[in-house]
Amino acid sequence: MLDNYSHKVVLVGDGAVGSAFAFSLLQSTHEIDELVIVDRNQQKANGDALDLADITPLTSPVRIHAGKYTDAANADVVVITAGVARQPGESRLDLVNKNVAIFKTIINPIVASGFNGVFVISSNPVDILTTLTQRLSGFPHKRIIGTGTSLDSMRLRVLLAHRLNISVNAVDAQVLGEHGDTSFAAFNEITINGQPLTKQLHLNTKDKNQLEIAVHQAGGKIISNKGATFYGVAKCLATITSAIIENRNVVLPISAPLDGQYGIHGLYLGSPAVINSQGIGQVIEYPLTADELVKMQQSATAMQAVLNKIN
């Protein structure tokens, strides 16, 4: 699917997340030579293509232009950020019916174009829409990736770094489950400079709950202040896309296809996975405590209940 000479990315959705992703991608990898922006607002897509072209002398000589779904025919990656944005006070799951309808109009023509690459999804609710993308496309599960809990994990790392007054680069922490209110942290696996968190900080149940609540509320705080969140998820998207293009084999927390991991089948939920040129090289099953495993399965139950209502 990928070669050493020509890598093409198609972006569907040129809103705040999409344009921030495109800007971040151009600075994250030098191994793409074409970026196509597809949006209902062709004028906006044209404008962003022209604007982004101005940075290519300082990054790499990427051809950037507005396009159509048919441009996906020979793309390596299609990134989808299209959809209705979450409003203040609205949960990610409230977006289901609105964005499912939009996705049905996107996936089918992309597949019809002959696209044979990897889908990367960030539209919310991301776990639901990633699962739906696989069902609509019929693609192998490994070629469908959602941003999942990548952003949640970054937020937890920031919170812990602030609490310990250390660099965020010293913190390795993973959030699992739904990208939303049923997500949870795998506290036993958190390390600080390679050492277990428990050696540096004692967290009781109340402390853990407060940290998880802070992660859950982080997006809402941003939305209430500026109307939308986009820098964090855009960087996560760029990191995932670059890992595919460059065959990095890096481990990232994403919406991963679960097939028996954590006792869950047939759903995409946040879990660490190896990302490479094939999409998902391997889903990594974290060793969870009994309480964490219950939380993971509760997250799956919540997702399945939503999927059961989708026609």
Active-site amino acid positions: 179
Q: What would the two tokens of residue 53 be?
A: 């072209």
**Can you tell me the distance from the alpha carbon of 165 to that of 169, in angstroms, rounded to the nearest whole number?**
12
Q: Identify the three-state secondary structure at position 119.
A: strand
The neighbouring-strand residues paired with 116 are none
Q: Which residues contact 119 (CB under 8 A, 6 or more apart)?
A: 77, 78, 80, 107, 133, 137, 139, 143, 144, 145
Is there a cis peptide before residue 125, judged by omega within 30 degrees of 0? yes
Q: Tell me which DSSP letter residue 177 carries.
A: B
**Residue 20 CA to its chain's centroid (Å):** 14
Check if the beta carbon of residue 256 is closer than 8 Å to that of residue 148.
yes
- In three-state secondary structure terms, 165 is coil
Residue 173 one-letter amino acid? A
CB of 259 within 8 A of CB of 270?
Answer: no
CA 180 centroid distance within chain: 12
Farthest CA pair distance, the chain: 55
Would you say 194 and 171 are in contact if contact means Cβ atoms under 8 Å apart?
no
Which tokens sit at 134? 């696989």
Spatial distance between the Cα atoms of 235 and 169, rounded to a whole number of angstroms: 15
**DSSP-H helix ranges across the chain:** 16-28, 42-53, 96-112, 126-137, 150-164, 205-226, 231-245, 290-307
